[in-house]
């Protein structure tokens, strides 16, 4: 076998845009022949995938999967809703979720490097699927929970948003119904924190400073301003902390009070230990396209 160096791997990566491990594997399979390795990457769909690296993947789905005491919420992005709603993409997302549950990676990088069997990493598998599907696909983020109680999930409108809750409670029909209500509420209210205790001292001090200046600008005396700020901080907690929020189905009680009612009915503690929600494409700048470009793209995707 012909020798090749790390510089050769880097050069191949720069030329094709493929991942480092894919380039190294191609050079090994090509006995060090650079051009043959580049051709192998194209044949495997990996170089084709790299050509789409500049595309913006703001569509896709948020997907949840629960198996026993483990659950995962994952966001996988693509370029168009046409592909996002397709069976191939949905199957890919489910496989990725199962891989997360089975390998328990620490982050996306570890997930992409994990072995799917047959000598393929998740990164290689996704690259191959990009070649088949014809759009950039990326795993943006995921959260994995392992629980002592049970996990509740809610996916909104086919994957535009997803919620996952970790409940420390006996799993009964009643507590599951309660958890479902809290999941729906979370999707609606999008809280920043679970409880007051999670708000950092820095965040709280900044909020106090802003509120105090706001009230003082209204001409209020210092003593009165301080009392007004306390009231406004309570409003801040109510708006941003899940347990302090008014329940969307009954605004006479908070989520904390709802859980207390659930615990009383169950005759056992009911605690919401943590939560997470993803809004698909949140924070990703989506490239604007005119209608003719969108139609042309979807027609091309359909031919793949």
Question: What average pLDDT values come out for the chain (304 residues) when binned by 10 residues?
Answer: 78 79 89 86 69 72 98 96 95 98 97 92 93 92 98 96 97 97 97 96 91 86 89 93 97 98 95 97 64 49 48
Residue span(s) of the chain under CATH 1.10.8.10 come to: 6-51
Architecture, CATH, for domain 6-51: Orthogonal Bundle (1.10)
Helix (H/G/I), strand (E/B), else coil: 191: coil
Pair of tokens at residue 11: 């050069």
Q: What is the pLDDT of residue 295?
A: 45
How many C-beta neighbours within 10 Å does residue 282 have?
Answer: 12
* Strand residue runs (E) in 147-286: 150-156, 161-168, 246-247, 250-254, 271-279
Residue span(s) of the chain under CATH 3.30.479.20 come to: 59-192+277-302
Q: What is the pLDDT of residue 284?
A: 79
Q: What is the pLDDT of residue 52?
A: 63
Q: What is the pLDDT of residue 1?
A: 53
Nearest to 258, CA basis, from 158, 185, 152: 185
Q: What's the fold here for domain 59-192+277-302?
A: Tetrahydropterin Synthase; Chain A (3.30.479)
């Amino acid at each position: 076998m012909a020798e090749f160096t790390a510089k050769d791997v880097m050069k191949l990566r720069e030329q094709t845009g493929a991942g480092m491990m894919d380039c190294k594997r191609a050079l090994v399979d090509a006995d060090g022949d650079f051009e043959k390795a580049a051709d192998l990457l194209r044949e495997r769909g990996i170089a084709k995938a790299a050509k789409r690296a500049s595309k913006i993947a703001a569509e896709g789905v948020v997907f949840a999967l629960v198996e026993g005491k483990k659950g995962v919420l994952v966001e996988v992005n693509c370029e168009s809703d046409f592909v996002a709603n397709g069976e191939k993409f949905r199957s890919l997302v489910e496989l990725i979720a199962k891989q997360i549950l089975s390998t328990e990676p620490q982050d996306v990088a570890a997930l992409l490097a994990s072995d799917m069997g047959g000598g393929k990493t998740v990164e290689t598998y996704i690259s191959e699927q990009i070649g088949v599907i014809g759009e950039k696909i990326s795993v943006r983020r995921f959260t994995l929970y392992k629980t002592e109680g049970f996990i509740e999930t809610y996916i909104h409108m086919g994957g535009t948003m997803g919620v996952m809750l970790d409940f420390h409670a006996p799993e009964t029909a009643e507590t599951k119904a309660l958890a479902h209500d809290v999941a729906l509420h979370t999707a609606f209210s999008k809280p920043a924190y679970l409880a007051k205790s999670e708000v950092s001292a820095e965040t709280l001090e900044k909020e106090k400073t802003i509120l105090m200046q706001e009230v003082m600008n209204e001409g209020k005396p210092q003593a009165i301003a301080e009392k007004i700020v306390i009231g406004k901080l309570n409003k801040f907690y109510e708006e941003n902390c899940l347990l302090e929020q008014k329940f969307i189905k009954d605004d006479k009680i908070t989520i904390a009070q709802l859980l207390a009612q659930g615990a009383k009915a169950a005759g056992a503690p009911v605690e919401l230990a943590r939560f997470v929600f993803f809004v698909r494409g949140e924070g990703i700048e989506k490239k604007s396209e005119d209608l003719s470009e969108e139609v042309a793209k979807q027609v091309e995707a359909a031919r793949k």
